[in-house]
Amino acid sequence: MTNTNTTIKPQYLSANKVAQLMGVSRSHVYDMVRTQELPSSKLGNKIIIPVSYLEETYGIAL
């Protein structure tokens, strides 16, 4: 029997989710992306931020 309680940790988060986790506004996250304080990629028209960077730099654990 397999364990069905396994959760998959995302590799990237949206700017909205990062703002919630960091306790800042979404516009602040976009400013951090613009000034390259946060690494990011684009997925279509969506900005995504790597979870590994948030964990290593800010100690944010998911």
DSSP state of 18: H
Identity of residue 45: N
State yes or no: pLDDT of 1 exceeds 60.
Answer: no
pLDDT at 62 (0 to 100): 83
pLDDT in tens, 3-59: 667 889 899 999 999 999 999 999 999 999 999 999 999 999 999 999 999 999 999
Look at residues 62, 59, 32 and name the one whose alpha carbon lies nearest to residue 47.
Answer: 32
As a whole number of angstroms, the distance between CA 48 and CA 30 comes to 10
